[in-house]
Amino acid sequence: MHHSPEKLSQSAKSKLAELAEKEKLTTRDRKGIERQEMPAQDPIERGQNMCEVALGLSPEQAKLEALRCIQCKNEPCVAGCPVGIDIPGFILQIAENDFKGAIDTIKKSSLLPAVCGRVCPQEEQCQEVCTVGRMQKDVEKSVSIGRLERFAADWERENGALEIPEVKPETGKKVAIIGSGPASVTVAADIRREGHAVTIFEAFHRPGGVLLYGIPEFRLPKGIVDLEIDTLRKMGVEIKTDFVVGRTRKLMDLMREDGFDAVFIGTGAGLPKFMNIDGENLVGVFSANEYLTRSNLMKAYEKEQADTPIYDSRKVAILGGGNVAMDAARTALRIGAEEVHVVYRRTESEMPARLEEVEHAKEEGIIFDFLCSPTKIHGDEFGRVKSMELLRYELGEPDDSGRCRPVAIEGSEYEMDVDTVIVAIGNGSNPLIRQTTDGLEVNKWGNIVVDENSRTSIEGVYAGGDIVLGAATVILAMGEGRRAAAAMNEYLS
């Protein structure tokens, strides 16, 4: 059920007034406050535009949500946060109307709160262990830490209160950072703060990495990413776009000839996986990376203005059940598809996508086909996708990951008419750096091997984010970046 932002704000106002009459809030009072719903664009309307879906809590809602936190002593949320933000601290500040204080508290530990408040899987991190949720045996009743983080970050930006972090005097040391996604941005800021010169090398024409090419505008407005990058520039970080390390210049040349004292590799997981089924090269089959990059980075959704085309689809199937699959499905809808299906081998409860994203997708009319997987894609006489052959599955015994293994049901073949198939089953590691850097140790999947201090097999070369972890999340990449930066600062001192 969708409620208008005005209505949500109004009811928060009345509840706040009611609580204001009390001298001191008891735990019971706090428990009595309903979790504040995130105001969102109308589901039908938003399917036609690219604007952000979640609109952000109003100040009243934020204060009320902050009052739900009981400030428990053991602070499980802090341990649940990959970068260890003082969560009860900033929530208390919001409750006390000190929004500036709240954002300052967050920024001590996280560099990208406006981004993380939007895209972190909080329900698996800080909110999963929240005492308020535990008391009510429902993670959906935990304090909405992510929404409060976003509120504080948005408040800062919208009130022109963005501050440029202080930079120590120049040390004369030079650091190269390869890639400009979440891990790299974190490393750049942490190292620059210590007074080292930092240069970011980005292969694309705009910096931001996956925040830019991967996550759609309707989930993370690009203006926010640009501002974060701008902050780095103001700190004195140099950003070289259109520069592919490994091709334009080899990693070791940066160290041996260009005088870089240390290098961080944060190139991400950039090699799309395909299903390896017949018909996967037909016209109309795309990797989610390609589809999303066309729409996000190249702005193909602005059909009138953008030179980069995007496929005209009527009926689309997305293969996969993660956040990228949700992003691709919802993008296809906005590009103009009449019917969008998410095709997933297991059931809804095994889907790796965030619940919030799944619900948003459902509200917008995305159709979910569970327990099925394609075996073949058929094309017409022009080599364009016309249908998909699928098999039905049932859940069997749990596998190593603890999820039930899907088992194909023999003889359950059926066909589904589609004109577009988007494959969103993950990424392997991009081989460019390892192919052009002798002595860089990688594992059997091609991910760079690092020790507990993010050090690779080459002295002075560090790595982090998805190129080490395999495909993971923004905040985990940032956590990795933080660890690498600390080790690099140590190495340079």
Partner 1 sequence: MARIIHKTQLSEDVFRMRLEAPLIAKERRAGQFIILQVNDNFGERIPLTIANADKEEGSITIIFQRVGKTTKELAELEEEDEIPHLVGPLGLPTHIEKLGRVTVVGGGIGVAPSYPIAEAMKAAGNHLTVIMGARNKDLVIMEEEMSSIADELIVCTDDGSAGRKALVTEPLKELCESDTPPDMVIAIGPPIMMKFCAKTTEPYEVPTVVSLNTIMVDGTGMCGGCRVNVGGEVKFVCVDGPEFDGHQVDFDNMMNRLKSYQTQEKAKTCKLEKVGKTTNLANPRE
Of 68 and 174, nearer to partner 1 (C-beta) is 174
Which string of x and - marks every residue 185-214 that binds partner 1 (by CB under 8 A)?
Answer: ------------------xxx---------
Given the structure tokens 């996967």, which residue do they identify?
280
Contact 452, 487 (CB under 8 A): no
**Is residue 313 involved in binding partner 1 (CB under 8 A)?**
no
Residues 6+ away with beta carbon under 8 Å from 135: 31
Among 15, 294, 334, 455, binds partner 1 (CB under 8 A): 294
CB of 473 to partner 1, least distance (A): 18
**Is residue 286 involved in binding partner 1 (CB under 8 A)?**
yes
Of 300 and 333, nearer to partner 1 (C-beta) is 300
> Cα 179–258–192 angle (5° rounding)?
50
Stretch that binds partner 1, among 80-88, 112-120, 147-155, 272-280 (CB under 8 A): 272-280
Among 26, 308, 412, 453, binds partner 1 (CB under 8 A): 308
Enumerate residues 330-389 that contact partner 1 by CB under 8 A.
Answer: 382-384
Q: 350 by DSSP, 3-state: which?
A: helix
CB of 297 to partner 1, least distance (A): 8
Given the structure tokens 């010169």, which residue do they identify?
197
Of 308 and 453, nearer to partner 1 (C-beta) is 308
| DSSP 8-state code for residue 272 | E
What is the rounded CA–CA span in Å between residue 145 and residue 88?
A: 9
Q: What is the CA radius of gyration of the chain?
A: 23
Contact 315, 338 (CB under 8 A): yes
**Is residue 243 involved in binding partner 1 (CB under 8 A)?**
yes
Stretch that binds partner 1, among 51-59, 136-144, 244-252, 398-406 (CB under 8 A): 244-252
Scanning 21-144, the segments in alpha helix (DSSP H) are: 27-31, 43-46, 59-67, 76-80, 87-95, 99-107, 113-119, 131-135
Task: Indicate left, alpha or beta for 374 from its phi (over 0: left) and psi (-120 to 50: alpha).
Answer: beta
| DSSP 8-state code for residue 340 | E
Stretch that binds partner 1, among 105-113, 164-172, 266-274, 358-366 (CB under 8 A): 266-274
What backbone phi and psi angles, to 5 degrees, belong to 99? -70, -35
**Is residue 400 involved in binding partner 1 (CB under 8 A)?**
no
CB of 299 to partner 1, least distance (A): 6
Enumerate residues 410-439 that contact partner 1 by CB under 8 A.
Answer: 430-432
CB of 172 to partner 1, least distance (A): 24
Distance linking the first and last C-alpha atoms of the chain: 56
What is the rounded CA–CA span in Å between residue 85 and residue 98?
A: 17
Residues 6+ away with beta carbon under 8 Å from 154: 56, 114, 117
**Is residue 274 involved in binding partner 1 (CB under 8 A)?**
yes
**Is residue 472 involved in binding partner 1 (CB under 8 A)?**
no
Stretch that binds partner 1, among 92-100, 304-312, 334-342, 464-472 (CB under 8 A): 304-312
Stretch that binds partner 1, among 121-129, 152-160, 306-314, 471-479 (CB under 8 A): 306-314
Among 25, 167, 277, 283, binds partner 1 (CB under 8 A): 283
Residues 6+ away with beta carbon under 8 Å from 141: 35, 132, 133
Stretch that binds partner 1, among 38-46, 69-77, 141-149, 292-300 (CB under 8 A): 292-300
**Is residue 241 involved in binding partner 1 (CB under 8 A)?**
yes
Among 249, 315, 378, 386, binds partner 1 (CB under 8 A): 249
Among 27, 281, 412, 443, binds partner 1 (CB under 8 A): 281
**Is residue 275 involved in binding partner 1 (CB under 8 A)?**
no
Of 105 and 289, nearer to partner 1 (C-beta) is 289
Of 23 and 304, nearer to partner 1 (C-beta) is 304
**Is residue 282 involved in binding partner 1 (CB under 8 A)?**
yes
Contact 383, 366 (CB under 8 A): no
Among 78, 271, 355, 416, binds partner 1 (CB under 8 A): 271
> Cα 304–329–48 angle (5° rounding)?
45
Scanning 159-243, the segments in alpha helix (DSSP H) are: 182-193, 210-213, 222-234
Written as one letter, the residue type at 91 is I
Given the structure tokens 């905040």, which residue do they identify?
475
Of 126 and 385, nearer to partner 1 (C-beta) is 385
What secondary structure does DSSP assign to 113-124, as a single string? HHHHHHHS-GGG
Residues 6+ away with beta carbon under 8 Å from 335: 295, 300, 301, 310, 313
CB of 281 to partner 1, least distance (A): 6
What backbone phi and psi angles, to 5 degrees, belong to 483? -65, -45
Q: 365 by DSSP, 3-state: which?
A: coil
CB of 246 to partner 1, least distance (A): 9
CB of 459 to partner 1, least distance (A): 24
Contact 149, 90 (CB under 8 A): yes
- Write out the residues near partner 1 by the rule CB under 8 A: 203-205, 241-244, 247-249, 270-272, 274, 276, 280-284, 286-287, 289-290, 293-294, 298-299, 302, 305-312, 382-384, 430-432
